């Protein structure tokens, strides 16, 4: 049994963590909610229309979660377009639903490849530019230019006039494009074999980058940015720089979708996903709060269970802490599934039952959550009048925040385990 002092100490920690999270959750962060949405939501609460308030929150969440993102991958035949399509979706070339790869052009029409976990994200493998069928002057019209949010233009060895012409046409039409120099790992390996004693990876990469930029400038591209990548080792080289650039330049709702769809290949990506999802927790907790104030016996707990189950399962899948993702990772790194599962401490999606949730709810609705919630009301004044929903808000907020932290830590342990093959 915990002593009263231990219980009070635990609740003080909960109090401080929740308070800090709310203070950190500024509406401008990731544009989770606009000033106008905040104003409408506050008005609904003040007028006592809790069902309307909950509906507005759900509508806002749905808008973010279901934002469509269409990414176009293009370049010359044999540049590694299809391999990149698979890599950016976290799919192996031999997996079901992967883009067909080969040494010759295998894509004869714009081919959509939905993300395996985020169906609102589609990566399009476009036909190679400069082929007899697809000439650059007609290319954008032939591939239905307007449907894509941005273009990745891939080249191997060097960029040519076709790449530059395509980039200029994309720019004229007001779309974003990004140059990717693929197969940089092969160039580095070749250089290492030739210059064993003088090999300098950073110097060679800079030489490759400078050469690509020089070629594009000669073809009339102003201030080109080039990202050096290996589709087989996406976590290396310039992928982090490309990711940061897209994160900054995409519209807010598209940025959210893009970040969640990224493969879990680095601690940095996992941390970004975690912080992004944290910004939404108070919205879900607020829906729980609004529902709790509706005088229908059993409604609050039933809705809380649905909300929690959906959120917890979503967290697991987004971080790759689910059965299918773990089995796929085990095949990729050639490790026993049991070894990877041994580092997972949070429940897997199939283990998230109503009985487990009720047990967790009972464990989190402890002395002090009410006072913590009351303190939070000072930072979210719109909830001041919703006294009856306070406990539900505090409990849901605490549970989601704790589970998100736990799953994010599991994902980091999985990543380290898969990379090192040792106990973490």
Q: Model confidence over 115-145: pLDDT tens digits?
A: 888 888 999 998 877 665 556 567 777 888 8
The conformational region for residue 240 under phi > 0 = left, psi -120 to 50 = alpha, else beta, is alpha
Q: Which residue has the higher pLDDT, 371 or 317?
A: 317
Nearest Cα neighbor of 109 from 94, 82, 127, 96 is 127
The answer to whether residue 287 scores a pLDDT higher than 70 is no
Which residue has better confidence, 30 or 124? 124
Cβ-contact 90, 116 below 8 angstroms = yes
| pLDDT of 372 strictly over 60 | no
Q: What is the pLDDT of residues 36-80, one digit of tens each?
A: 655 665 566 556 555 565 566 666 666 666 788 999 998 887 778
Average pLDDT, the chain: 74
Higher-pLDDT residue of 393 and 386 is 393
Rounded Cα–Cα distance for residues 408 and 414 (Å): 10
Q: What is the per-residue DSSP string for 60-101?
A: HHHHHHT--EEEEEEESTTSSHHHHHHHHTT--TTSTTPPP-
Whole-number pLDDT of residue 29: 39
How far apart CA 375 and CA 369 sit, in angstroms, is: 10
Q: Is the pLDDT of residue 228 over 90?
A: yes
List of domains in the chain:
4-65+265-420 (no CATH), 69-261 (3.40.50.300)
The reply to whether the predicted model has a pTM over 0.75 is: no
């Amino acid at each position: 049994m915990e002593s009263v002092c231990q219980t009070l100490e635990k609740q003080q920690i909960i109090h401080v963590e929740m308070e800090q999270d709310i203070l950190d959750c500024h509406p401008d962060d990731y544009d989770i909610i606009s000033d106008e949405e905040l104003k409408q939501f506050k008005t609904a609460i003040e007028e006592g229309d809790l069902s309307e308030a909950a509906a507005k929150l759900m509508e806002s969440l749905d808008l973010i979660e279901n934002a469509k993102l269409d990414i176009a991958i293009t370049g010359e035949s044999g540049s590694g377009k299809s391999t990149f399509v698979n890599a950016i979706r976290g799919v192996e070339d031999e997996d079901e639903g992967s883009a067909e790869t080969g040494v010759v052009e295998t894509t004869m029409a714009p081919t959509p490849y939905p993300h395996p976990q985020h169906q609102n994200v589609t990566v399009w493998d476009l036909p190679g530019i400069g082929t007899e069928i697809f000439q650059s002057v007609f290319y954008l019209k032939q591939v239905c230019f307007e449907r894509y949010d941005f273009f990745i233009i891939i080249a191997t060895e060097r960029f040519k006039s076709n790449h530059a012409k395509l980039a200029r046409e994309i720019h004229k039409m007001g779309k974003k494009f990004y140059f990717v120099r693929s197969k940089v790992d092969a160039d580095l390996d070749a250089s290492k074999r030739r210059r064993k004693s003088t090999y300098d990876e950073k110097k060679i990469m800079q030489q490759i980058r400078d050469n690509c930029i020089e070629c594009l400038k000669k073809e009339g591209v102003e201030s080109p940015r080039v990202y050096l990548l290996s589709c087989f080792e996406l976590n290396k080289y310039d992928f982090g720089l490309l990711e940061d650039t897209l994160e900054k330049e995409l519209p807010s709702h598209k940025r959210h979708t893009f970040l969640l769809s990224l493969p879990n290949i680095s601690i940095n990506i996992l941390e970004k996903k975690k912080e992004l999802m944290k910004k939404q927790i108070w919205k879900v907790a607020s829906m729980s709060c609004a529902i709790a104030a509706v005088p229908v016996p059993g409604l609050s707990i039933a809705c809380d269970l649905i909300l929690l189950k959906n959120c917890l399962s979503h967290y697991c899948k987004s971080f790759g802490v689910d059965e299918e993702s773990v089995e796929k990772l085990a095949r990729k790194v050639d490790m026993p599934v049991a070894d990877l599962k041994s580092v997972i401490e949070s429940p897997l999606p199939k283990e998230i039952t109503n009985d487990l949730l009720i047990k967790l709810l009972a464990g989190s609705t402890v002395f002090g959550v009410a006072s913590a919630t009351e303190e939070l009301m000072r930072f979210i004044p719109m909830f001041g009048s919703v006294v009856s929903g306070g406990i539900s808000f505090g409990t849901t907020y605490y549970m989601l925040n704790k589970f998100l932290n736990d799953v994010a830590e599991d994902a980091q342990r999985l990543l380290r385990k898969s990379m090192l093959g040792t106990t973490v």
